[in-house]
Structure 1
Amino acid sequence: MSKLAPPPEGPEHIINLREALEERYLAYALSTIMHRALPDVRDGLKPVHRRVLYAMRQLKLDPGSGFKKSARVVGDVIGKYHPHGDQSVYDALVRLAQDFSVRYQLVDGQGNFGNVDGDGAAAMRYTEARLTDVAALLLDGIDEDTVDFRETYDGSEKEPVVLPGAFPNLLANGSAGIAVGMATSIPPHNAAELCDAALYLIKHPNARTEKLIEFVPGPDFPTGGIIVESRESIAEAYATGRGGFRVRARWEIEELPRGMWQIIVTEIPYQVQKSKLIEKLAELLMAKKLPLLEDVRDESAEEIRVVLVPKSKAVEADHLMESLFRATELETRFPLNMNVLSAGQVPGVMSLRDVLKAWLDHRQVVLQRRSAFRLDKIAKRLEALEGYLIAYLNLDEVIRIIREEDEPKLELMKAFKLSDNQAEAILNMRLRSLRKLEEMEIRTEHKELSAEQKALKTLLKSEDAQWARIADEIKDVRATFGPKTELGRRRSTFSNPPAMTYVPPEAIIEREPITVVCSAKGWIRSMKGHVGPDTEIKYKEGDNERFVIHAETTDKLILFATDGRFFTLTADKLPGGRGHGEPLRLLIDMEEGREIVALFVHQPGRKLLVASHEGNGFVVPEDEVVAMRRAGKQVLNVSGTDEAVACVVVKGDHVAAMGENRKLLIFPLAEVNEMTRGKGVRLQKYKDGGLGDIKCFHLKEGLTVYDRSARARLFTDLKEWLGQRAQAGRLPPKGYPSGYKFGGDFGAA
């Protein structure tokens, strides 16, 4: 059995693992950023998309030509330019052909290229493709030395570093990608609006983004929808290159007989799969989480038509849709992160102005290189034409030299002082070109080319002339994709952020009566219906009744604990009535050793009086104590051995405070401060013990107190107990029940 050779030893074979990993990971990160995930700001394309378009041009799949199998295109791309999997290349080609994925298609597809339901495209052997007019604009001039070329991965071919990009593709079609440590997300825009902004930027090079958004008010998604975002938010997003846009489905009310109606959704947000949207709506409907919705149907054909049937004709359409916007992808948020490659090398987040300026600068470079390329071609042609004219003037001698001389090229150059190119052109002339008419045509062509040469030289010397030429090209693009054309008309519209910020809970939760039961040891549950006082409620052994509250599933429950914190529970999320429920501490983060002081149904607009054992307290608006956090909200500050002991509804004009020493004090409610958080003011003074209970009431109506059997007793003559806040009080009147509690349900007057 052979043994493996031992690894080489010595300092030269020692590898620092950290350095090796950093070096290799950096190489991987740079490769992902530059060659895969981020688009180039100049043509708006990632390498795979650029290679697909270039390969299709090389296959002569121009807009007016016939289609070829997608498999042929994919084969050329992976064989010559993109050494990766064929499926990833085909997926890129498919996306460029989907009118619901890109605002302006770059590939004209024939066959099944998928749909908005999320169905995939057919296999590449079944579909066919060719370039669109938009792709032709991006490629226009690529054979005229307008861009640099580099060797492909195997060095056998050349590929463009960037396309000439006569179309504002980056913003018009958008882009999305995740690199290493960075990502990009750019929504599609309207090409005509981008052209208007670019034309304004040419005239006003120092224009700010705030001005440019007058021309580019926001994205224009291929699937339409309504953008509900404030102008200030949109302006900030375009100025910084980061932000987002809320997009809502477009809907309308369709009237039906007998006063009934239904909602028709005609457009859904960008990149939302309709089938999954319908599936989510159906799930929520089955779970009874959309109580205002009766049914959902998909009646879509070529156009989207999703039917939403309300529970009854009395339902508010706005309430129904607002609940659906919150619960489903009928409303989405599309992020904006204009992280792109500048000059094909440096990643960075750009503003709207920066992106447009980079595209215009690229167009200027393309114009200059194209003009220089044309000048070179004209110079060579003029050189040849001048040789032809010399030949016509000396035709007999030219013929003699060609017939008699062994080296006619050298003799021609010597006899007429011709250049090598001119002599070669004369020798390659056809006999039919010796006609007189041909001479006239050559002189005409020479004159025209000379004029063009002069114009191009003037153009290259004048930057103003260059920008004028670029502006004319952009105007042609705008005319082709203007708002009056079917492709160019704006699809997404704008709406102010909805004023309706409050959605009634019944629009999201089915409203049903329940009874909330909370035991003395803090086990809570909800029982269906309003349980009567004679109904037997079972508790765990050693536990007993503490709170029994009639509520509805749409209610919020407020819990006040001895540490002065308020907690909020939603009634529909409480454990069911089977068994003994669950401990409250599973629903909220109430500290160990703390107890419940009060539990009641939240009523907006009310005010509460809270107090501690030491006799401190204040009035707090009930709306201020609501906090949908497990940790609750600290309202009454207590320290040391002090703790909260009372929470009552503010009703009436006076406060009754009863100490554990059974001394009663009554004082005006106006003497108690209203606060949102704090220790409060002194309500009653004690030598021993502390506050037992408090109550708010109307002095004219008298003070109602309940004994342990829940029998009410009314005391009206209370002059002896009237005083000011922070006094000690005196023993209660005759007939007052034993103990120091006023009794009665929470909030009783």
Structure 2
Amino acid sequence: MNLQANYEQIPLKEYAERAYLDYSMYVVLERALPFIGDGLKPVQRRIIYAMSELALGAQAKPKKSARTIGDVIGKFHPHGDSACYEAMVLMAQPFSYRYPLVDGHGNFGSPDDPKSFAAMRYTESRLTPIAEVLLSELGHGTTDWSPNFDGTLEEPTWLPARVPHVLLNGSMGIAVGMATDIPPHNLREVASACIRLLDDPDATIADLCEHVQGPDYPTAAEIITPRRELVAMYQTGTGSVRARAIYERDDSNIVITALPYQVSPSKILEQIAAQMRAKKLPMIEDLRDESDHENPIRLVIVPRSNRVDVDEMMQHLFATTDLEKSFRVNMNMIGLDDRPQVKDLRSILTEWLRFRTDTVTRRLNHRLGRVERRLHLLEALRIAYLNLDEVIRIVRTEEEPKPVLIARFRLDEEQADYILETKLRQLARLEEMKINEERDKLEEERARINVLLKSPAKLKSLIKDELRADAEKYGDERRSPLIERSVAQALDESALVASEPITVVVSQKGWVRAGKGHDIDGEALSYREGDSMLAIARARTTQQVAFIDSTGRAYATPAHTLPSARGNGEPLTGRFSPPSGARFDAVVAADNDTRIVLATDFGYGFVTRFEALTGRQKAGKQIISLSDGARVLGPAITADPSRDRIVVVTSEGHLLMFSVAELPELDKGKGNKLIEIPKAKLASGEERVVGVAVVAEGKGEVTMYAGARKLTLKWADLVEYGGNRATRGGVLPRGLRRVERIETSG
């Protein structure tokens, strides 16, 4: 016996390709993509048909959802009950479907958690009134029927939709190698566009967009996408739609009353709260959810004060949370040719109108056939009435009256059977009058149907009238207002930080930390073993802090990101990448437009804007050109360069004061000479500049330190050391000829 006779031997590559292709086509055609005719996926179609078979119309008493799902999976859809029930729940959620097809009783989820619906044994359901536009013509010969999965029943291949349902509720699905994202639309707008296309078959997409303004989601959130982008989306069948939440002011509070489609209130609260915990929303004091039955969406944001710019704050929230959300559009669907394709608006409506025309034609032909059959039977009754005695005689006397009737009155078998099955009470005179009246009405109806079938213009008029009637009966006003706005932009990071005073402390070994307030004594802090304070800078959390290394490169970082002074801080080399062997020598913090005096211990310096020190944070930027052996001094801030004075002190006790205006303003460089130092002393290192300070005209003081000695010079004392830039200056008293450092105040 040949055991291989029942097997087909093919290469594994060919088998895998064939199997995957079969699977792909099944997913595309039988699961993921909607059909353009009724806008439904197979599981949705089967649920609606099963509910109609269970007589669960809009006026019927609802039944347990488990009963419906049992019929669906037992008769038409042999898949998991949970997935099938979830598909039914989706059609019942008014926040998911623009025009729900299922009327759910019980817990069918909430906008906060759409998947929080109760089990199907607890809920009840029936069809909504608008489901009639899918089912009312089902028994009128308008659809093809195919066997169910086991061949015991038949199911409709599609439902005879009276409106373009594929656009009304949209669809989302992922197939193999393709996906669909069709947004929902307004029934009245879509019906109006169909009527326009019937009246003007040459109408362009721009013409149709005069009727279809844009998607219409179940929520009242604004659609802010510009009109030109919406038109382009309808021209290509792909694009995106951006929706934004609606808010209003209630006294000093902000109340959010509508959220974008499929955005949960709890997620919004979580996103805002996360920013508040990270101290990125200093302008918000409190956040509440006051949603209830009367107000399904009511999120309250409490600003910190009346000075908060509410519009600016909301723009930031739109940009950083799902209060503004973009939805992908990919109008991919199964066409009348049973092939998936991304279609533009005109193609969708044109193809659906072809589907609708065919459906109405089939409906009329089906009705015409029924009318003609009834007239055919009524003609047999008329003959019987005209020859009543003869008919009675034949029935009473003949053993086989049927062939005799056929031969005597030239009837067919159907007419003869109908006469023989007629009840005696129908032979009354009154019944004859009713039959004649029915025949007249049917003949009139037959004539009307024939006129419709022979006249394309009248058929179009009928389709338009039915579209208008359905749009009027089931349509409503647009929910998603179309308001063209620019995309929201997040606020700059510095604008989201509370402005608080801090003191930045840098150690000799390049460790940095920041303490709250401006009264921190850097010398009193604890340091790592072998380390000590190098410099401090008083700043605010909204400012940048700049560090200058021994090569003259500047690095900047936001002040609020520095570690707390409670610990030892962190090494600056973790934030920046200075050249090998470089050390950090100076620190300064200010606003971008503030002028800074930068100097070296060789006695050269210039004025620059603080912004010049920021920019390239990791690698830094070269600011000061250093001579061999020169060292960067601590920067000095000048509030008014035209009036402020600069004080320069050398290690030999020479002091010179001159106007800051005498220094050039540069973005980078070496600068000009500040004070005269003999070349020999400079070369040998005997004399260097120990510090520069800026004092305001008429006030301020400078303190010099030389070992245990110190000397404070007020404005009146400093005036005596005034002179021109690059001169030798005056000599300090004998005890301060070896100055180590200087400080300024006032």
CA 1:563/1:170 → structure 2, altered by over 3 Å: closer, same or farther? farther
Note if 1:221 corresponds to 2:198.
no
Question: Among residues 246, 257, 273, which one is paired with 2:242 in the alignment?
Answer: 246
Note if 1:445 corresponds to 2:445.
no
The whole-number CA distance in structure 2 between the counterparts of 1:75 and 1:117 is 29
RMSD, aligned α-carbons: 4.7
Question: Among residues 443, 461, 464, which one is paired with 1:468 in the alignment?
Answer: 461
The whole-number CA distance in structure 1 between the counterparts of 2:395 and 2:660 is 141
The whole-number CA distance in structure 2 between the counterparts of 1:329 and 1:268 is 9
- Per the normalisation by structure 1, the TM-score is 0.77
Residues 261-276 of structure 1 mapped to structure 2, 5 A cutoff: 261-276=252-267
Give per-residue Cα distances to partners, 1:448-471, cap 9 Å, x unaligned.
322322332332233322222111
CA displacement at 1:526 relative to structure 2:
4.1
Q: In the alignment, residue 249 of structure 1 is paired with which amino acid?
A: A
Note if 1:432 corresponds to 2:409.
no
The whole-number CA distance in structure 2 between the counterparts of 1:565 and 1:27 is 65
Question: Among residues 77, 86, 95, which one is paired with 2:81 in the alignment?
Answer: 86
Note if 1:141 corresponds to 2:137.
yes
Residues 471-510 of structure 1 mapped to structure 2, 5 A cutoff: 471-482=464-475, 488-498=476-486, 501=489, 503=491, 505=493, 508-510=496-498
Question: Among residues 314, 317, 324, which one is paired with 1:324 in the alignment?
Answer: 317
The whole-number CA distance in structure 1 between the counterparts of 2:673 and 2:275 is 60
Q: What is the match of residue 627 of structure 2?
A: 660
CA 1:232/1:575 → structure 2, altered by over 3 Å: closer, same or farther? farther
Q: What is the match of residue 512 of structure 1?
A: 500
Q: In the alignment, residue 267 of structure 2 is paired with which amino acid?
A: K
Give unpaired runs (5+ residues) of structure 2. 599-607, 697-724, 726-746
CA 1:503/1:280 → structure 2, altered by over 3 Å: closer, same or farther? closer
Q: In the alignment, residue 25 of structure 1 is paired with which amino acid?
A: Y
Note if 1:377 corresponds to 2:370.
yes
Aligned-partner SS, 1:41 = coil
Give unpaired runs (5+ residues) of structure 1. 1-7, 256-260, 483-487, 611-618, 635-643, 648-657, 663-688
Residues 391-410 of structure 1 mapped to structure 2, 5 A cutoff: 391-410=384-403
The whole-number CA distance in structure 1 between the counterparts of 2:595 and 2:447 is 86
The whole-number CA distance in structure 2 between the counterparts of 1:561 and 1:450 is 103
CA 1:282/1:23 → structure 2, altered by over 3 Å: closer, same or farther? same
| Contact 2:235 2:345 (8 Å CA) reproduced | yes
Q: What is the match of residue 60 of structure 1?
A: 55
CA 1:533/1:140 → structure 2, altered by over 3 Å: closer, same or farther? same
Residues 306-705 of structure 1 mapped to structure 2, 5 A cutoff: 306-343=299-336, 345-482=338-475, 488-498=476-486, 501=489, 503=491, 505=493, 508-516=496-504, 525-530=513-518, 534-535=522-523, 548-556=536-544, 569-582=557-570, 645-646=622-623, 660=627
The whole-number CA distance in structure 2 between the counterparts of 1:186 and 1:589 is 50
The whole-number CA distance in structure 2 between the counterparts of 1:433 and 1:90 is 51
CA displacement at 1:498 relative to structure 2:
4.9
The whole-number CA distance in structure 2 between the counterparts of 1:704 and 1:383 is 117
Q: What is the match of residue 666 of structure 1?
A: none
Worse overlay, 390-399 or 705-714: 705-714
CA 1:236/1:80 → structure 2, altered by over 3 Å: closer, same or farther? same
CA displacement at 1:391 relative to structure 2:
1.8
| Contact 1:34 1:344 (8 Å CA) reproduced | no
CA 1:356/1:541 → structure 2, altered by over 3 Å: closer, same or farther? farther
Note if 1:34 corresponds to 2:11.
no
Aligned-partner SS, 2:623 = strand
The whole-number CA distance in structure 1 between the counterparts of 2:365 and 2:229 is 44
CA displacement at 1:240 relative to structure 2:
2.2
Q: In the alignment, residue 223 of structure 2 is paired with which amino acid?
A: I
Question: Among residues 230, 234, 242, which one is paired with 1:234 in the alignment?
Answer: 230
| Contact 1:241 1:338 (8 Å CA) reproduced | yes
| Contact 1:41 1:344 (8 Å CA) reproduced | no
The whole-number CA distance in structure 1 between the counterparts of 2:41 and 2:569 is 57
CA 1:586/1:694 → structure 2, altered by over 3 Å: closer, same or farther? closer
Q: In the alignment, residue 197 of structure 1 is paired with which amino acid?
A: A
| Residue identity (%) | 39
Q: What is the match of residue 126 of structure 1?
A: 122
Aligned-partner SS, 2:176 = coil
Q: What is the match of residue 702 of structure 2?
A: none
Give per-residue Cα distances to partners, 1:466-502, cap 9 Å, x unaligned.
22211111101221134xxxxx122222333258746
CA 1:556/1:122 → structure 2, altered by over 3 Å: closer, same or farther? same
Note if 1:734 corresponds to 2:676.
yes
Note if 1:74 corresponds to 2:51.
no
The whole-number CA distance in structure 1 between the counterparts of 2:67 and 2:327 is 35
Question: Among residues 169, 172, 178, which one is paired with 1:173 in the alignment?
Answer: 169
Aligned-partner SS, 1:379 = helix
Q: In the alignment, residue 90 of structure 2 is paired with which amino acid?
A: R
The whole-number CA distance in structure 2 between the counterparts of 1:133 and 1:468 is 25
CA displacement at 1:699 relative to structure 2:
11
CA 1:362/1:509 → structure 2, altered by over 3 Å: closer, same or farther? farther
CA displacement at 1:744 relative to structure 2:
5.8
The whole-number CA distance in structure 2 between the counterparts of 1:592 and 1:320 is 44
| Contact 2:73 2:81 (8 Å CA) reproduced | yes
| Contact 2:316 2:490 (8 Å CA) reproduced | no
Q: What is the match of residue 96 of structure 1?
A: 91
The whole-number CA distance in structure 1 between the counterparts of 2:671 and 2:551 is 27
Worse overlay, 204-213 or 561-570: 561-570
The whole-number CA distance in structure 2 between the counterparts of 1:692 and 1:309 is 47
Q: In the alignment, residue 660 of structure 1 is paired with which amino acid?
A: S
CA displacement at 1:708 relative to structure 2:
6.9
Q: In the alignment, residue 325 of structure 1 is paired with which amino acid?
A: F
Q: What is the match of residue 115 of structure 1?
A: 110
CA 1:554/1:66 → structure 2, altered by over 3 Å: closer, same or farther? same
Q: What is the number of equivalent residue pairs in this alignment?
A: 677
Aligned-partner SS, 1:236 = helix
Q: In the alignment, residue 435 of structure 1 is paired with which amino acid?
A: A
Question: Among residues 184, 189, 192, which one is paired with 1:193 in the alignment?
Answer: 189
Q: What is the match of residue 290 of structure 1?
A: 281
Q: In the alignment, residue 734 of structure 1 is paired with which amino acid?
A: E
CA displacement at 1:334 relative to structure 2:
2.4
| Contact 2:594 2:637 (8 Å CA) reproduced | no
Q: In the alignment, residue 403 of structure 1 is paired with which amino acid?
A: R
Give per-residue Cα distances to partners, 1:560-607, cap 9 Å, x unaligned.
999999987444444444545445675578898999899876856799
| Contact 1:175 1:184 (8 Å CA) reproduced | yes
CA displacement at 1:287 relative to structure 2:
4.0
Q: In the alignment, residue 90 of structure 1 is paired with which amino acid?
A: Y
- Structure showing greater radius of gyration is 2
Aligned-partner SS, 1:494 = coil
| Contact 1:608 1:622 (8 Å CA) reproduced | no
Q: In the alignment, residue 508 of structure 1 is paired with which amino acid?
A: L
The whole-number CA distance in structure 2 between the counterparts of 1:420 and 1:286 is 87
CA displacement at 1:77 relative to structure 2:
0.3
The whole-number CA distance in structure 2 between the counterparts of 1:372 and 1:517 is 91
CA 1:498/1:513 → structure 2, altered by over 3 Å: closer, same or farther? farther
CA 1:415/1:14 → structure 2, altered by over 3 Å: closer, same or farther? closer
